[in-house]
Chain A
């Protein structure tokens, strides 16, 4: 099964290698004619099959002139010479028949062919079986050790396996020793409960997981026959896995076979393609099968396939280009444009044009200031003829209090500034104010983070301690810190090895040790805490094995801290180190999503190798420049908003309507609950009334979540409750309740019909003619003037409504009702509801 690279080489193998090398003129890691490559691992020049169980998945690839590579593995004809040496099946997998050397030859239907040297040795010998390396992966692959079955903490119907086989020693205990050994029956292996259940010969809740004719089944039989060996203590263990290829450009509806190689601690390698699990990160883009084949659909974009084997992961990235000609591009304003356009050219997706001035003004005002532009702003912007008026608008908005309000609203939810009873209002108001002031002052982001994570004292003197009120346990503190500031979801690693990541329980608890000395004392005010550093050596107990873990940054060596050092300062030091791989990237990605409505990594707080960025170069450049700027948030906002990419029209051209990954046009998004609430008030010319804050307070400036309970509008449009560090808590879904509310809420209808409403004022206004009033209404709603057809449509409506009125009083009433209808209709349009 393993083909060893141990010395000394057996003589046959030496001769074989000499032969392979003597073939001299071949490319570095393939043996091929001009347009056909046979490959399976970077650097491998020949196939060695060692032992009866050995196998090797092969790839046949045709490189094309445009740089793409087409997978021919399943369409090509494979053969082995001499034929008695080995056999290649139609999926390109070679298995041994007899010892000897020869070659594998692949021929295309067009007659092109290529070959690889082959050596088969010890084909008659089955090496002893190692439980962890060979048996456990069978359970993982067949779903036995999944979280819904035997892999959950309590097991299933008394039989327990470790989740995804992360703990082979435990699995061995459960399988071989537990239940008085009744699960395995060496005297008649096929009668073992493990197999009769797995093949559903006996009733099995999980159904049939194993075929009696499969390699897996035969291997299990052999293992039981051999007396269920665990393996030797010095048997090799898997140190890493690598998928090949790691990147490929695939045509629409194309497919790609993957090869997965396990690297063992003794230096040996093994093809584990059939034992590995494959999972695409975007199931609308691609699907995988158990043989390691990736099939992409009719959707251009980027897709990553996670490959998992024995707790190790590796990633294949597929790019599915559209391949349209990109003739012209908008001007590149900064490096964001350069890197996005570079990718658009590569994937052949022409961007939409840059949007018009007023569309830009509405878009950027919503995204930076959390409101729609005023009539004055529109007018001023329209009159401004300077080249840099868009840039100056961005700077003006960033300098305004509205920017601080809007982003404080965002951060306040993520920092869980939650009020669960009235007594906490002092703290939540203070914390909100602190967040807002920090943003208004443009406090460097690393300092912002340090002042929260490292907060000590009382909420009066140091408001960010309020973060610790909602985030109370070591686990919550480390998980929120990771998710919010590092873009990492570590939750899984509390109880078991992270299924999509390299993080283990040891990593989890070492990271948690930074918070081990946080201590709560009764605060000055009722309901508030005072946070102090409890003197002592920072350490946390790994729940898995009871080991005391010293604090360590993720992927770093543990720190030895003195008892009087607050470990949270060391944590902040580590996070804000310029070479930290997570901190700056997480923030720029979070802000990217704010402005572009989809993260470069999405979800924005699930950054991992197995969920890569759609444009990694851009993410790296943003992070590096953000660090260089001194963690300057306003610089970041300005960089993003001033890019041509941000200013692209949302209207698709003939190519980019289905683009979801490359930002070839602006992706519209529904206004957030608070912004929409304020915009509706602006439309109605009415004032908000929230308990405990002055009338007219904008919903984006509300200090905490407690106002949701009194506002069905905010609740139903998804304002978050500040319960988690996840942006996903804000619901952007549509629902029937929302539609009904906006169309028919009593409260909105009353304000619409009130004497002070915009409709009644417009109706009463005798200074302007109806068309001028209509134009004004359109500007308030859509930040643009109506087109001629729209004006006519509205005037016709007005005419129809007022036509039958008998006298002036009736006419006035009809006119007012017509305006009510128009205000109502405008605020129910998509153009109003969306930032576009």
Chain B
């Protein structure tokens, strides 16, 4: 029914999805067609809702071998890679990111994230908070907060979609809705919701029969419920049926119809799972773009495995070109689709890596410095914010906290972090970012 990038899925009876779509449309005739058409009509390009695409690089990529090269450091720190000039005079990045180098005027680099923690986890990248002293239930992730505060932009598309697969190292995917509860959880078509999205043991015809039967049985008066839960349930059932047959969400997830040229521009990446984290599926970036276009407010992508304790340079030589191709394609695509002002992109890992190169030609964990790439969303681009010292060991200018980046992204979504709160389980209104974090003036001032 649905193609999760990298994992081609077919129905148990061997029919392809296109065949099914046809059967579905015939079999259900008048019931679904108008609905489909309505959904199509709503799917105008460049829809004006604001959204974020977050690319998480599990394991922590080396900042000094990607966006913060240290050509003046001694060889045992500098490493093997050279820097190249970019489209922004004076800004140089790694030679293995040539496509991104050409687009440096489309994004801003932060080189001085200073509050990373030495913990292989997406927690900081999803919440901007420490794991210590959490309120009961835990801190909600960025996406859960968005889902809670803004709700769905389009009734047919969940506001928060996580494309990452279930990663083997649990903390790479453990950041959940926290005290906001399962209602604000991400919809994860590549992980826990995956098996529910493929028709299990019944044909589309039979599903249509069942649906008609359900409509006949389900005569309970909706007006007995004034809380809105029953109508909410009906809406979700509609969505679910849509997903099992054909719907906007499903269409967004399915890239088969995309222009082959565009697909080639994004590249294939590498479908193999890297380390105990994620594969490097470049089509995910395209899916993410399609999802925000369809109405998602946050789409998260986990990409690769960057914990280079050994063979830092040979690993990076393999991985960086894939990342370069995918992310540069995404940035170009967002501009071409007229989404650049509405959709923010953030890319980061949980920490940077050590200045010194260890005996295995690797770099070890280095939470004292970390970098991030930010693009779109109406942010001021073409800049470099902050710097690390000569060895890439400590932020030397404008230390930035994860929370400031989140405050900036909330700002881009139109959420005022100084006003909006969400209630925790003790009833305390909690602000969305840690105390003292404000949208960064350099980006949105």
Contacts and interface: CB of A to CB of B under 8 A. Distances in A.
Contacts of A715: 182
A605 B199 CA distance: 42
Q: What 8 A-B pairs come out closest when comparing CB atoms? A: A733-B183, A724-B136, A731-B181, A148-B418, A739-B240, A724-B425, A739-B236, A831-B220
B44 interface: no
A81 interface: no
B433 to A, nearest CB: 10
A254 interface: no
A148 B240 contact: no
B15 interface: no
B182 A834 contact: no
Contacts of B158: 736
Nearest to B435: A154
Given A668-B225, A740-B193, A740-B197, A734 B236 contact: yes
B220 A824 contact: no
B216 interface: yes
- Chain B interface size range: 35 or more
Contacts, number: 198
A157 B181 CA distance: 33
Contacts of A826: 217
B202 A718 contact: no
Contact of A738 (B218, B236, B417, B427): B236
Interface stretch (A31-39, A244-252, A632-640, A745-753): A745-753
Contact of A834 (B217, B219, B230): B230
Contact of B201 (A721, A743, A753, A829): A753
Interface in B410-440: 416-421, 425-429, 431, 435-436, 438
B93 to A, nearest CB: 33
A734 B217 CA distance: 20
Interface in A796-817: 797, 801, 817
A603 B225 CA distance: 19
A190 B187 CA distance: 54
Given A724-B179, A822-B213, 13 more contacts: A670-B229, A726-B425, A731-B182, A734-B229, A736-B236, A739-B233, A740-B243, A743-B237, A743-B240, A749-B202, A790-B219, A821-B213, A829-B220
| Residue among A605, A821, A830 having the largest count of chain B Cβ atoms under 10 Å | A830
A735 B240 CA distance: 10
A340 B152 CA distance: 38
B195 A746 contact: yes
B224 A745 contact: no
A436 to B, nearest CB: 24
Contacts of A828: 214, 218, 237
Nearest to B416: A148
Interface in B306-344: none
Contacts of A829: 214, 217-218, 220
A38 to B, nearest CB: 39
A26 interface: no
A571 B240 CA distance: 51
Contacts of A729: 136-137, 179, 181, 425
A716 B182 contact: yes
Interface stretch (A134-142, A422-430, A653-661): A653-661
Contacts of B210: 821, 824-825
Contacts of A833: 233
A154 B199 CA distance: 53
B273 interface: no
B427 A750 contact: no
Contacts of A724: 136-137, 179, 425-426
Nearest to A657: B223
Nearest to A157: B438
Interface in A153-187: 153-154, 156-157
A744 B214 contact: no
Interface of A: 147-149, 152-154, 156-157, 205-206, 479, 483, 489, 491-492, 603, 605-606, 650-652, 657-660, 665, 667-670, 712, 715-718, 721, 723-726, 728-729, 731-741, 743-746, 749-750, 753, 790, 793-794, 797, 801, 817, 821-822, 824-826, 828-831, 833-834, 836
Given A483-B426, A726-B426, A735 B185 contact: yes
Contacts of B179: 723-724, 729
Contacts of B195: 745-746
Nearest to A712: B192
A744 B200 contact: yes
Interface string B187-210: 100001101110111100010011
A799 B201 CA distance: 22
B153 to A, nearest CB: 14
B81 interface: no
Given A735-B236, A740-B196, A744-B196, A834 B220 contact: yes
A627 B218 CA distance: 44
Given A740-B193, A744-B244, A718 B183 contact: yes
A156 to B, nearest CB: 8
B239 A739 contact: yes
B226 A749 contact: no
A830 B196 CA distance: 20
Interface of B: 136-138, 158, 179, 181-183, 185, 187, 192-193, 195-197, 199-202, 206, 209-210, 213-214, 216-227, 229-230, 232-233, 236-237, 239-241, 243-244, 416-421, 425-429, 431, 435-436, 438
A738 to B, nearest CB: 7
A603 B426 CA distance: 11
A790 B215 CA distance: 12
B428 A489 contact: yes
Contact of A603 (B199, B229, B427): B427
A718 B220 contact: no
Contacts of B226: 657-660, 667
Contacts of B137: 721, 723-724, 729
A673 B237 CA distance: 17
A491 B426 CA distance: 7
A825 B196 contact: no
30 contacts: A147-B421, A147-B431, A152-B431, A152-B436, A205-B438, A650-B224, A668-B224, A669-B229, A718-B183, A724-B426, A726-B426, A729-B137, A734-B236, A737-B185, A737-B192, A738-B236, A739-B240, A740-B193, A740-B240, A741-B196, A744-B196, A744-B197, A745-B195, A749-B201, A749-B202, A750-B200, A828-B237, A829-B214, A830-B233, A831-B218
A106 B157 CA distance: 57
A716 B177 CA distance: 12
A16 to B, nearest CB: 48
A738 B218 CA distance: 17
A665 B226 CA distance: 11
B183 A667 contact: no
A148 B213 contact: no
Contacts of B426: 479, 483, 489, 491, 724, 726
A723 B138 contact: yes
Contact of B225 (A492, A744, A801, A834): A834
B214 A825 contact: yes
Contacts of B200: 744-746, 749-750
Contacts of B217: 790, 793-794, 822, 825-826, 829
A254 B385 CA distance: 55
Contacts of A658: 226
Nearest to B441: A205
A206 B425 contact: no
A831 B230 CA distance: 10
A734 B239 contact: no
A489 B427 contact: yes
A483 B135 CA distance: 14
A829 B227 CA distance: 17
Nearest to A155: B436
